[in-house]
Structure 1
Amino acid sequence: MPKSNSAAALNGDYRQTPMVPKTKKNATIVKGGTELVDMMTVKYKCDKNTAMINMEAGSTVPLVDSPNVDAEIDDDYNPFEHRKLTHPTSDYDTFIHLLKGSLGSGILSMPRAVMHAGLWVGVLATFAIGAICTYCVHILVKTAQHLCKRNHIPSLGFAETAEIAFLSGPPALHKYSRLAKAVINTFLVIDLLGCCCIYVVFVSSNLKQVVDHYTGQDMDVRIYMALLMPFLILLNLIRNLKLLSPFSMIANILIGVGMAISFYYICIDLPPLDSRPVFASWSQLPVFFGTAIFALEGIGVVLPLENNMENPHHFIGCPSVLNLGMCIVVLMYSITGFLGYLKYGENTKATVTLNLPTDQVMAQSVKVMIALAVFLTYSLQFYVPMEIIWKNIKHRFEGKENFGEYALRIVTVIGTVLLAIALPNLGPFITLIGAVCLSTLGLMFPAIIELVAFWNHPDYCNSKWFLIKNGFLVTFGVLGFITGTKVSIQEFTEG
């Protein structure tokens, strides 16, 4: 009989008995999915929405200690060798996907973020938040790999990592494993549907500026949102992901061209550096935090990427695909924020495209291009939360699945538009989603998962640094959550 975990830890030999599914044959858990789903979820910041094959009552099969498995096997099992990948990605492909998944429309909001921190403080703080976010990604991937090895599972998603961590953690937390998975999936859904609301505001605000200039009208931005609703409903009745993939290609081209032209305008006639304050004020820092973390955070990207790599051990470490990719991402976001705020100062809008000239056709074309790109992106952003929600309510529409799914899609699209109409201020909306969802997903949850997963590991459980740094990450996330939410609600009220 293998010795208990506590006894092994006391003897300086940490070997956790592997956790295996409680099934007749202790079959290996694998994940389903297609290459297209992998690619789509990588780009749009969410785990693959596939469930483990072995299911019980709608949740992952409980994992239990197996007395028939020798503890030595834990040292021999390599989860990377058990991943069945149809098209594994190279280090270079993974690097490109990481850039595509992390560089989104949020970069256009970075000048506003820097405005609320100050020119130089904003840039330095962007690098600091980027470093913290990257470190949280490191500990999430490291913990997932550790749990895969310990429990003989080839790969894990974000929510599944939390569930397995709680099942492998202190006995008192085992009963909260399903709750941990549900909480992360809930925040992912809120984050993605919140982004859909932001897209509605973004598209409407840019179209309003163009149309109002050429028509001489001053229509309420809410009217543009209402006019978008039927087109969004029609677009999101498409359930086949393959039919949506061309929209992604078109959106990528439009955003690339639009960003290039935007940088052209930003870099013309820049004022001197001393024309902008070094530091704004302490009261404005929560706005910077919420906006910056909304733009920078790509925690949902990493595990689908790592799971699909030909050489997963190259993803984290030093040097690594993650470090190189995030260095470029943070650098680009910092440069955009720095130059955008330097150019437009206190007149910087929630998205820098709104600062472009209204009397030049090329500048106006940028707003139309990026608005169209974001409009097309809505359907891809919308796909993943719909799959998560539908999977959990599908049983209620037995025999009427098509009706139920179409009804859910229509109602949810209408809901995102109505919420955007109720909260039409783009800047506070971005801050709110960043503070509420991404401070939890990107900062708090990785630290909590690591604490739970390594609770009795002798290299960690007795380390003050292990407790201090994870305590700091959780505290930092909670502080950002509270202050960012409070400030964004105040901005909504004042607006």
Structure 2
Amino acid sequence: MAGGGQSAAAGVPLLEKSAGASRTQTLGNIIVSVVGTGVLGLPFALRIAGWLTGSVGVIVTGLCTYYCMLLLVQCREKLASEEDSMVKKSYGDLGYECMGRNGRYLTESLILIAQCGGSVAYLVFIGQNVSSMFNGRGLSVASCIFLLVPVEIGLSWIGSLSALAPFSIFAAICNLLAMAIVVKEDIQQAVDGEFSFRDRTAITSNIGGLPFAGGVAVFCFEGFGMTLALEASMKDKTQFPRLLAQAFTGISVVYALFGFFGYMAYGDQTRDIITLNLPRNWSSIAVQIGLCLGLVFTFPIMLHPIHEIIEGNLTKDSTTRMGKLGVYVSRAMVVMVLAVLASYVPGFAVFASLVGSTVCALISFVLPATFHLTLFGSSLQFWQKTLDFFILLCGLLFAVYGTYNAIVGL
């Protein structure tokens, strides 16, 4: 769950056993790979951008993400037809075909950075929630993060992902429960008459709030590393575009409504993780504990693509004693480095916006449009070229300004 969900094939447990997946299985894979902890930062994003502009932004982001996912599928189909090969192309393969070896390095490096960003976001999320549960007892967010390090190192040494896969679904269920409880609290406040539309900002007067909220929205939808794996796993691939459209329509509407209700309930008091706004009762604490436990056990799944890349370059034989020792040491170092980075992150939403504005925007919009223009070229109709160039330009501008805005702060 890089932001939205898990952005590596290993991160979605159903794909491990779903050669020829049905519509229901594929729909489940899409939801697990897209819906993640990032959604809990959407109410804060709407507080920054305004409920109207923020809600529209979430819907637009969902539409653009869906369109660019289809571009990736079209690019792979074109390459497969030209080469008459049954070998399925990965995102990195598309980068190589379009821009050579540097294209592969760029694509895989961005996916690696996005995976690291999602892993750091996991740690920040857990740290902030655990710290809030022990409020007043001197346990800081950084302390909570470092307390997790020995546990995560031990879990990262587990060789079988299938042993951890059920926790991925458990974390997704906890996300849905958290959303349901937040909406319940929102409705309760509405019934009690504790807020009015006049007290809530519809359109922010701070122009910097728009790219900030946009970065959070992109982070929530980021699941591009899974696009080609999802399509390849489906039994009837001709149904994938329609199924993807249905899934993204539902997810976009739920995201927009969730952000809207969350901001309406708490207004200017909306925290960067909405669960921190919940009253200190058994239900909210149980959800926070469930979310944290789910993420603790799915964190190693997020690290799996990182380990694959690092270990592939460190050693050619991991079966020898020295090779195994190198694997253990490298995995421990990865966890420790990510924990140190997470300890310096000022807040979940700020970091989510930064990751969404940088690598997620490049992976989700810039690269798919570039690949599509490169591979199809003159065969594209004028409106297709115009739309691809528009997405490419907007993606670059958003990445530059959104990064600057997230770094300097609002």
After TM superposition, the score normalised by the length of structure 2 is: 0.91
Structure 1: state its 5+ residue gaps.
1-41, 50-84, 167-175
Whether the aligned pair in 2 keeps the contact of 1:89 and 1:309 (CA below 8 Å) is yes
Name the CA distance, whole Å, in 2 between partners of 1:467 and 1:407: 48
Matching residue within 158, 163, 178 for 2:101: 178
- Shift of residue 424, structure 1, vs aligned partner: 3.7
Name the CA distance, whole Å, in 2 between partners of 1:408 and 1:300: 23
Match of 1:315 in 2: 240
Deviation sequence 1:352-400 (CA, Å, 0-9, x none): 1111113x22222222221222222211111122112222332397942
Match of 2:91 in 1: 158
Deviation sequence 1:287-337 (CA, Å, 0-9, x none): 111101000222222210111111111112xxx111101101101111111
Any residues of structure 2 matched to 1:278-293 within 5 Å, and which?
Answer: 278-280=202-204, 281-293=206-218
Structure 2: state its 5+ residue gaps.
12-16
Name the CA distance, whole Å, in 1 between partners of 2:246 and 2:383: 26
- Off by >6 Å, runs of 4+ in structure 1: none
If each structure's helix is expressed as a fraction of its own residues, which one has the higher value?
2
- Shift of residue 184, structure 1, vs aligned partner: 1.1
- In structure 2, relative to structure 1, the CA distance for the partners of 1:237 and 1:304 (3 Å cut) is same
Name the CA distance, whole Å, in 2 between partners of 1:43 and 1:439: 15
Match of 2:295 in 1: 374
| Length, aligned pairs only | 395
Residue 274, structure 1, aligned to residue 198, structure 2: yes
Higher relative contact order (CA 8 A, sep 6+): 2
- In structure 2, relative to structure 1, the CA distance for the partners of 1:47 and 1:248 (3 Å cut) is closer
Matching residue within 36, 41, 51 for 1:119: 51
Residue 99, structure 1, aligned to residue 31, structure 2: yes
Moved more, 285-294 or 297-306: 297-306
Match of 1:479 in 2: 397
Name the CA distance, whole Å, in 1 between partners of 2:24 and 2:273: 31
Name the CA distance, whole Å, in 2 between partners of 1:265 and 1:150: 55
Opposite residue 338 of structure 1, the aligned amino acid is F
Matching residue within 259, 265, 277 for 2:185: 265
Match of 2:8 in 1: 46
- Shift of residue 239, structure 1, vs aligned partner: 2.1
- Shift of residue 450, structure 1, vs aligned partner: 0.6
Match of 1:73 in 2: none
SS of the aligned residue for 1:239 comes to coil
Match of 1:148 in 2: 80
SS of the aligned residue for 1:129 comes to helix
Identity, in percent, stands at 25
After TM superposition, the score normalised by the length of structure 1 is: 0.76
- In structure 2, relative to structure 1, the CA distance for the partners of 1:163 and 1:410 (3 Å cut) is same
Opposite residue 162 of structure 1, the aligned amino acid is G
Matching residue within 123, 132, 136 for 1:200: 123
Name the CA distance, whole Å, in 2 between partners of 1:231 and 1:305: 31
Any residues of structure 2 matched to 1:246-395 within 5 Å, and which?
Answer: 246-270=166-190, 271-280=195-204, 281-316=206-241, 320-358=242-280, 360-395=281-316
- Shift of residue 471, structure 1, vs aligned partner: 1.6
Deviation sequence 1:432-466 (CA, Å, 0-9, x none): 111111100000000010111112x4x32xx4433
Opposite residue 7 of structure 2, the aligned amino acid is K
Residue 411, structure 1, aligned to residue 342, structure 2: no
Name the CA distance, whole Å, in 2 between partners of 1:361 and 1:199: 23
Whether the aligned pair in 2 keeps the contact of 1:143 and 1:450 (CA below 8 Å) is yes
SS of the aligned residue for 1:188 comes to helix
Whether the aligned pair in 1 keeps the contact of 2:58 and 2:256 (CA below 8 Å) is yes
